[in-house]
Structure 1
Amino acid sequence: MQTNDERYERITAGAPKPTDSFVRAILRDQYGVQAVSCWPLAGETDHNTHVVDGTGAQYVLKVSGPQDRRANEFQSALLRQLAEREPGLQIPRVVEDRSGALVTTVHDGDQDLVVRMLTWVSGTPLAEVRRRSAELLTDIGTTAGRLAVATATFEHPGPPSPHYWHFAHAGTALVGSIPRIEDPDLRAAVERLRERHLPMLEEGLPRLPTAVVHHDLNVFNVLVRRNHDGYRVSGVIDFGDALPAPRVADLAVLASSAMRGSPRPLTVAATLAAAYHKACPLEEAELDLLFPLIAIRSATVAATTARLTAEQRHGDPRHRSQAAIELAIALADMPAVLGTAVIRQACGLDPHPPATSVTQWFAANTASMAPLVADPLVPVDLSASGALFDGIDPRDPEALRTAARTGILGHDTATPVGRYGEPRFLAPRRRRTGEQEPANVHLGVDVFAAAGTAVHAPLAGVVEDSGVAGVDLVLRHEPAEGVGFRTLYTGLSVEVSAGERVEPHRLLGHVAADTGDGLPPRVRVQTATAPLGEWTAVPIGVTHSDRGVWEALFPDPTPLLGARHTVTAWTPVIHRAVQGRRVHLPNTHPTYFSTPIAMASGRDCRFYDEQGRSYLDALNNVTLVGHSHPRLVKAASRQLGRLNTNSRFVYDVLTEYAERLTATLPDGLDVVYFVNSGSEANDLALRMARYVTGRDDVVVIDDAYHGYTSAVADVSPSRYRHYGKPDTTHPTPVPDRYRGPYGYDDPEAGARYARQVIGAFDRLAGEGRMPAAYLFEALLAGAGQIVLPPGYLAPIFAAAAERGIFTIADEVQVGFGRLGEAFWGFQTQGPEIVPDFVTMGKAMGNGFPMAALVTRRDISQAFDATGRFFSTYGGNPVACAIGLELLDILEDENLQHNALSVGQYLRDQLAELAGRHELVGDVRGQGFYSGVEFVRDRHTKEPAGEETLIVCERLKDEGVLVYPTGAFWNVLKLKPPLMFSRAHADEFTVTLDEILEAGW
């Protein structure tokens, strides 16, 4: 590989500088184009001009020096073939001059200039897209692969000379630039990258398949366009650096450019590589050299940036990228084996083939391992779902450490072992949703033995100099032909020397005393299948997303403990749990999200899954005062330890709760029927209304949901549409001011929608079928978070009273202060609104199954003739104790007011998003019950149901839980706990904004 050849310094020559009048003369005389506007564009060796003529047609005129004629002829022929072979690929088309030539020469004083003109390709440079979705990256990788396939057969008799950016000449570029790097950190990083990866290129490049490549496929030359589903590739431009080269060069250039500025650069590279590989299958040699190519390209760009800065030359602003410098520094700390493993796995290959032989050898030889320590070993569960952390706030590291320490020290007769692969709360946490997931999956086994405990070699090996920060001892093992690995020991006072061969049972050292993290003394054992020379530190914990790669590089060392113990690696329950649901639950039983979450715990406004990942709960209206509220936990535990029975026994907590509950309702609503679910409460209300009136028909609002029993499913349009509407159920139009005939701008919308309900009353009366009841929700959840228009209920209630129709307020989802303006949803329509029945559930017990129907004494007495009504578990002492405590918490923590103020703040923030994202059609709600409706077109209001599901999945991936609702499944339903704060609202809206910006 050449090291210092000025032939590759074409970048230093710069571009010609023709005047504007000269450019216009070329356009007029050579191409017959009368330019309306000429605008200079960036260029390294070409003078580029954006041209618009009188018809609105757009072109790019490229003027270069005579040394570039050969390259221009080559590029023009290449573009012509691409236009023929890949007509669907948007690339510049070559425009012939008046003589029919693709490339022409013009004279400018005493110099000859080479000129050609291309059609303009519209689009936004990828560099200007701040957030790039996985789908966009996949589209970009696919485009690059299609481009490679299209150029594979291109041949030309006069290919251009290699240029500065040619990978074969990276040594030249780096040698010429490194001395000019003033930043010591960058210089050290570039030196490391050159020393580590350049030898790989020298050895591997000659063996790679070659083809004509774009060779400058960066984020400025890939153009994108925003569609309803986000950004997609619209074209590729600037083939000025095209030449024969290793085929994979384009992918390396593309990846090194797209990785800049990403918090997860390897994920970007892997996504691009997987898509490229699918479109243009790469050989294993190409995949194995791709990461070194990316690293060298990144080093070259960063070094050249520094060089041109020092020389005060910036012909192309792309060489001023601070992100390129930051990427080079980051890649310098990244072992090549790691980058290659991530890319290989993304492409469907074994991430690190040597690991397979090691794990197979372990499986066959576990029984022969010598004891590591003398005592028997037992596992201790330090995982995020472990019982040790029950009742502990995952955000309290000291409490977590105390619980872990107590659990570890609680073993008297055996040595506890922390398992491999455990996702631990004790690992560093994310500070905010949207940041990287925590690196909390443990990559070793921890043997918690007393300080001074002797540690012995489980198998033969040779002591190596560690050279890795934090690792006390490294043993190299080659127990069989083709099997090689290392074992790493941390927390050990070492008793062996470098170069020494140790046999099984040999004393390696003693457990050290100081852990520095608040946990008991231990020795951590890890296994490495890759050389450690490039590792400055061995990871202790890794992210769940990257787990597969790391398990290949640092596989499970548990077999080193021997087969005589019960210790095994940690395994997630999600797969077993999902399979169990498939076997034992009905097929129609739903789960949230395409990839379900195995929840382990909840606290305040957050869930925590078995991986220890935190999720902001903007969805779960059951937990009114937050998950695991300590006062509710204490109240339930205290009552459960005292008494729990059925309500045919007399206990004062039931009476006290009934008094407190009815005190929140209008006068007259004072008889409580305790049940277990909102469905039962609504079922009972219908039964009572039908019995007392002697009628069967019920008027409801379309798209409503009132429960799962036969009776309430028959009055729930969202349910009965699957099996047919009963003749006794009469849905009325949804009072939807966004989609309905009477909108937000109609001050009479409420009265107009009310007349549709009253019309249904009169129609049924005319048929001799006066309804028994009008059943409604005060805010329509199933219909899409529809807020009842002002003045809607008052005329309906007046008409119902005149006709002897009972009114049933379904407060199962919206009661207990959730709407902020009032304690009960129906009260938001005015003080004159007093239902005959109020049903409640869900939030009533903050997740504990309890519900109730409240009605008047006269109605209750009329129903008494049917005999006793009794629910075995309804109103049990534990339920009542929880209910009482919940009412106290609502008052003590002023949560109804919080729902009012923060709920409005949340909707204000969401409304601002509507100004930036066309997908947002409407934002509506009351208190902490809000909806964001997504549409593909704001004029037609075409529902964006598919997009809404994708947005919910993306939010889940970023640690925020929300889910669609509505007739078209295109409304985000936001129903967070009432302690949801402004910070939580900001967290939600910022994350949603980022997802909508990136598209999908």
Structure 2
Amino acid sequence: MSNPAAGAPLFDFFAQPSLPAPDVPADELTRLVAREFGLDVRLRSLGSQQDQNFMAHAVADDEPVAVLKISNPAFSAAEVDLQDRVAALLARELPDLRVAHVLQRDGRDLAGWFDTSRGRLHLRLLTVVHGRTLNGSRYLAPAVVERMGALAAAVSRGLEHVEHPAQDRVLQWDLQHARRVVELLAPGEPDTAVRERVVAAATAALAVLEPLADRLPAQLGHFDLTDDNVVVPPGGRLPDGIVDFGDVLRSWRVGELAVTISSVLHHAGADARTTLPAVRAFDAVRSLTDDEVEALWPLVVLRGAVLVLSGRDQAVLDPGNAYAQDGLDREWRILEVATELPVPVVTALVRHALGRPRTTPAPRPAPRLAPLLPAGTTVDVLDAGTRSEVNDLGAWTDAGTLQREAERRLGAADVVVLPHAAPVLTGSPALSAEEPATVPTGATFWSRRGFSALAPFAGEVRPVDGGVELTGAEAVLRLSAPGPGAVPGATRVEPGQPFAAVPAGRAVHAQLVRDPALDVPARVRAAHAPGWLAQVHDPAPLFGLAPVVPTSAGEVLRRRERVLAEVQEHYYAEPPQVERGWREHLADVDGRVYLDMVNNVTSIGHAHPRVEQAAHRQLRLLNTNSRFHYAAVAEFAEKVAATLPDELDTVFLVNSGSEAVDLALRIAMAATGRRHVVAMREAYHGWTFATDAVSTSIADNPNALETRPDWVHTVEAANSYRGRHRGQEAHRYAPEAVATIRELASRVDLAGFVAETYFGNAGGVALPPGYLRAVYAAVREAGGLAVADEVQVGYGRLGHWFWGFEQQGVVPDVVAVAKSVGNGFPVGAVVTRREVADRYRTQGYFFSSTGGSPLSSVVGSAVLDVIVSERLQENAAVVGDHLRERLTGLAGRHELIGAVHGDGLYLGVEFVRDRTTLEPATSETAAICDRLLELGVVVQPTGDHQNVLKVKPPLCIARESVDFFVDALERVLVEGW
């Protein structure tokens, strides 16, 4: 077993660039492992770029027992020893990580040099790191990317002071040698377009990197901690394992991070911004120097260039190597994404993410600017942001709004300016899976009359496509206008001299760029804005304006968290700052528009003009407490009662769903003179003392069942999907509930039974047919009242029925409703029979200051009028049926979807890990919601297990919008979350 090449020189790629992987037959290796290591195994190929790897399964039970690695014969014994020592050290020093290292038996390494049919080769058996790698191009969540950066940092720190005789081996993957690799392999690349693209990218990256090279710290490292070489434990989401030490050597420390984040770039939805969690995680452990920050993205680009050239070269050299062949598209994608943004832009993004402004050399200050406009020019600033009145009533959906608004304002001002860096909502797409470009990198302006623009600094003027460019010593001013009539000009000018003719009435974009070689888009994505805005100066001084300093959404969130109770939650860990709604759409302060699939509060659509007009008019007339006499309250109460069966004719008005259900319970108690109430388990009814008492959803209150007062009794949740009785057996719930109620009635005096008429907390599961008919009869037989919680399902949401109890063919004694009643305004109602309502007098009087106030009443009336006039119940039926059909089709293609519940626009998509056991896919549901937010959809989980998407959009939602939602959901299920 001695190695005749023990004293061989270290491998040098440039002396031996051709490196085909070993190809020892599997049956031969099986016999060798049995003979030399005493293991009876079956081998399954794992693939490798330059080695030969197999998973070894025990023949007896087919369990994986080891990884068999056959090293490339080009590597010396010292290099193999280097790999094994580093693996063993990390396994010992980093106990929280699972590290693949050489197996031992009786103190002996299961490794050595052996004669094979392909020559003398080194074989070793490595420990199995159970789980899965991140191989493939599925989506990687920010938490996964962050963990990859943390793993790279942990390995880097663990190897910081390690030295080894073989550490200076020369591999093509060592980014210190990237220039030589490109120069060696590029001439042999047969595809001219590929060759030119790679060489151009490498040349630009090297121009930034090479002046820094001597100042970059170097150390021993893994330098291949990629998505292929980190392992996620079974059932987990975050990698905690490391394999494959074939590229261990001494190189630039920051290269460890560059290699790791480059492997993220080919995954679905990835770009430079999505690597930032890894950068922050690495920096938190291995603080990056200023030079390393500057070198990071050039190294990522060079990694992409080397991968493309090496992969394509290896595929030609070793055509039978499926691993090398399969990687070609991924490697090209890495280079494509690495070069989507210029290196300075990504570096600025990294600095912004780290809170690390550049210190050496200090960035040049903005140049001193003379005015662009003639003296005496009056200027009006146009706000096109999310909260601007310009975008009211859906005007933001029309890109022509800006031009029309500018023309309107030019009647009073000489020039109208849309400022730099302030996100623009106007024209942002309503349905977009990609973040649109909304942040201006300059100022757009319109002039009432044409004028000669004055040079703000000395420089050379030249016409460019679509405009004119003034290049000075410190910056470049670009004026551009789309289409014919672009801004002309040409000559050398001094400050204050005319240099361009500005046309009247046309939008002209003024951009102050720091680097004349950089082409900066007129608008950029908000996620990329910190990188792009670092490449430009604010042109506000050109117009005599102060710079715009917008408040960040992150700062507003921190303010919220400082003053609000922690228990007052918000959607998402890092929520967008939503400041506008229109129909089924929500818009954040960055001008990104989201599809709202969860907002049953805003039932008739966000910012409905009928509601706005009614509220505005009433506020001009009167708003006071509800004890005054005015017509609006009578009109509203009549409209509510008219939607219900004739016997439900008496209305109480309140502010919220919790108050409505609370009052309904009090009415039942007062009318019967009793206090005991029966409620269905796993339901949520509100946060008041009484409604919390009858709420038994553990998602809302983990101690709900244990803390229930003695006057609350429960029946089993009638869930035909997840409950004890499923499918056709769900009919058993009704007689069992009846038996429970009768048994209770023999011991206590029942005031009533309360339940949602459609099992909403479970995600929109319909109650079994006849359930409420049987239960209501039993309750009434016992002298109690039937209380229907219609807070979520009432008001036409079910499409085929206006009220949920209609689906069951029953009439309750008391109905509680809210949410939809005010379209987001705090209005709720309780409706019952006159004789029941009259008995509430035994409890004293009822009074709600703003429940039924003039303002509440006119808003409530307007909502009902819109539901009727815009046929929103019909829309809920038609669009809801289409949505359910599409979701059901999705369930047929994706095992994660256990069921689609509900009717109309009250649906639930339940995710399970196993369709037989119905194990809830809780973590998956949360991750899917986060991923959908990235794709422009707002949706949230519900249910005791938080594994159901609650799909309750505004009733006005369009068919194209629900199609967008389903397409986005399928994309997530295909690409990952």
- Give the CA deviation at 1:45: 3.9
1:181, 1:331 → 2: CA distance?
20
Structure 1 residues 37 and 947: CA distance shift in structure 2, 3 A = closer
Once the two structures are superposed, the pairs formed by residues 761-910 of structure 1 within 5 Å of their partners are 761-763=744-746, 766-767=747-748, 770-782=749-761, 785=764, 787-830=766-809, 833-848=810-825, 850-859=827-836, 871-873=852-854, 876=857, 879-890=860-871, 894-898=874-878, 901-902=881-882, 904-905=884-885, 908=888
2:574, 2:180 → 1: CA distance?
49
2:410 counterpart of 1:409: yes
1:113, 1:689 → 2: CA distance?
85
- Give the CA deviation at 1:162: 1.1
| Equivalence for 1:321 | 328
2:494 counterpart of 1:502: yes
2:32 counterpart of 1:36: no
Task: Count matched residues.
Answer: 950
Give 1:212's aligned amino acid: L
* Residues 60 and 119, structure 1, Cα contact 8 Å, conserved in 2: no
* Residues 263 and 334, structure 2, Cα contact 8 Å, conserved in 1: no
**SS state at 2:729 partner:** coil
**SS state at 1:746 partner:** helix
- Give the CA deviation at 1:680: 5.5
1:20, 1:708 → 2: CA distance?
66
TM-score of the two chains, using structure 1 as the length reference: 0.83
792-801 or 736-745: bigger deviation: 736-745
* Residues 103 and 116, structure 1, Cα contact 8 Å, conserved in 2: yes
2:686, 2:21 → 1: CA distance?
73
- Give the CA deviation at 1:201: 4.0
Unpaired runs of at least 5, structure 2: 1-10
1:492-524 deviations in Å (ceiling 9; x for gaps): 745553xx4623x333323145xxxxxx42443
| Equivalence for 1:452 | 450
**SS state at 2:287 partner:** coil
Give 2:532's aligned amino acid: W
| Equivalence for 1:481 | none
* Residues 137 and 266, structure 2, Cα contact 8 Å, conserved in 1: no
- Give the CA deviation at 1:473: 1.8
1:425-465 deviations in Å (ceiling 9; x for gaps): 34553753xx331110122222322453222234x443377
773-782 or 868-877: bigger deviation: 868-877
- Give the CA deviation at 1:68: 3.9
| Equivalence for 1:516 | none
179-188 or 568-577: bigger deviation: 568-577
Over the aligned positions, Cα root-mean-square deviation in angstroms equals 4.4
2:788, 2:468 → 1: CA distance?
69
- Give the CA deviation at 1:684: 5.3
Structure 1 residues 275 and 644: CA distance shift in structure 2, 3 A = closer
2:203 counterpart of 1:195: yes
**SS state at 1:375 partner:** coil
| Of 290, 293, 300, the match for 2:296 | 290
**SS state at 2:273 partner:** helix
1:10, 1:122 → 2: CA distance?
35
1:957, 1:925 → 2: CA distance?
26
- Give the CA deviation at 1:173: 2.5
1:191, 1:727 → 2: CA distance?
78
2:689, 2:116 → 1: CA distance?
89
1:912-950 deviations in Å (ceiling 9; x for gaps): 58x544xx7765434332345667898998877777656
2:687, 2:226 → 1: CA distance?
56
| Of 203, 220, 226, the match for 2:228 | 220
| Equivalence for 1:81 | 89
Structure 1 residues 554 and 778: CA distance shift in structure 2, 3 A = same
* Residues 262 and 338, structure 2, Cα contact 8 Å, conserved in 1: no
| Equivalence for 1:72 | 80
- Give the CA deviation at 1:559: 3.8
Once the two structures are superposed, the pairs formed by residues 170-209 of structure 1 within 5 Å of their partners are 170-209=178-217
Identity over aligned pairs, percent: 29
1:278-323 deviations in Å (ceiling 9; x for gaps): 2333322222112111112211222334445667846463355123
2:91, 2:97 → 1: CA distance?
8
| Equivalence for 2:741 | 758
| Equivalence for 2:469 | 473
- Give the CA deviation at 1:146: 1.8
Structure 1 residues 578 and 139: CA distance shift in structure 2, 3 A = closer
- Give the CA deviation at 1:756: 5.8
Give 1:421's aligned amino acid: A
Give 2:151's aligned amino acid: T
2:107, 2:696 → 1: CA distance?
72
* Residues 933 and 971, structure 1, Cα contact 8 Å, conserved in 2: yes
* Residues 49 and 61, structure 1, Cα contact 8 Å, conserved in 2: yes
2:516 counterpart of 1:532: yes
| Equivalence for 2:480 | 490
1:686-715 deviations in Å (ceiling 9; x for gaps): 555444444454444456554566766666
1:384-412 deviations in Å (ceiling 9; x for gaps): 321012112544434x34553455435x1
Give 1:196's aligned amino acid: A
2:394 counterpart of 1:392: yes
1:895, 1:945 → 2: CA distance?
31
- Give the CA deviation at 1:332: 4.4
**SS state at 1:812 partner:** coil
1:825, 1:607 → 2: CA distance?
28
**SS state at 1:448 partner:** strand
1:200-248 deviations in Å (ceiling 9; x for gaps): 44433333222223344443333334534x24243221x2232222222
- Give the CA deviation at 1:21: 5.5
2:536 counterpart of 1:554: yes
705-714 or 146-155: bigger deviation: 705-714
Give 1:540's aligned amino acid: A
- Give the CA deviation at 1:778: 0.7
- Give the CA deviation at 1:614: 1.4
2:392 counterpart of 1:423: no
* Residues 391 and 426, structure 2, Cα contact 8 Å, conserved in 1: no
1:964, 1:96 → 2: CA distance?
48
Structure 1 residues 983 and 225: CA distance shift in structure 2, 3 A = farther
- Give the CA deviation at 1:985: 4.4
Structure 1 residues 903 and 762: CA distance shift in structure 2, 3 A = farther
| Of 132, 140, 149, the match for 1:132 | 140
| Equivalence for 2:343 | 336
1:132, 1:197 → 2: CA distance?
26
- Give the CA deviation at 1:612: 1.8
| Of 915, 918, 933, the match for 1:956 | 933
TM-score of the two chains, using structure 2 as the length reference: 0.84
**SS state at 1:804 partner:** coil
Give 1:455's aligned amino acid: A
607-616 or 318-327: bigger deviation: 318-327
| Equivalence for 1:146 | 154
* Residues 343 and 351, structure 1, Cα contact 8 Å, conserved in 2: no
2:107, 2:926 → 1: CA distance?
56
2:682, 2:69 → 1: CA distance?
60
2:690, 2:28 → 1: CA distance?
84
1:425, 1:724 → 2: CA distance?
48
**SS state at 2:648 partner:** coil
* Residues 619 and 855, structure 2, Cα contact 8 Å, conserved in 1: no
2:120, 2:965 → 1: CA distance?
60
588-597 or 137-146: bigger deviation: 588-597
| Of 973, 986, 989, the match for 2:950 | 973
* Residues 753 and 786, structure 2, Cα contact 8 Å, conserved in 1: yes
Structure 1 residues 35 and 687: CA distance shift in structure 2, 3 A = closer
- Give the CA deviation at 1:191: 2.4
2:922, 2:181 → 1: CA distance?
52
* Residues 455 and 493, structure 2, Cα contact 8 Å, conserved in 1: no
* Residues 700 and 774, structure 1, Cα contact 8 Å, conserved in 2: yes
* Residues 265 and 338, structure 2, Cα contact 8 Å, conserved in 1: no
Structure 1 residues 287 and 916: CA distance shift in structure 2, 3 A = farther
- Give the CA deviation at 1:24: 4.3
| Equivalence for 1:462 | 459
1:502-552 deviations in Å (ceiling 9; x for gaps): 23x333323145xxxxxx4244333334x332x2x2122222223333333
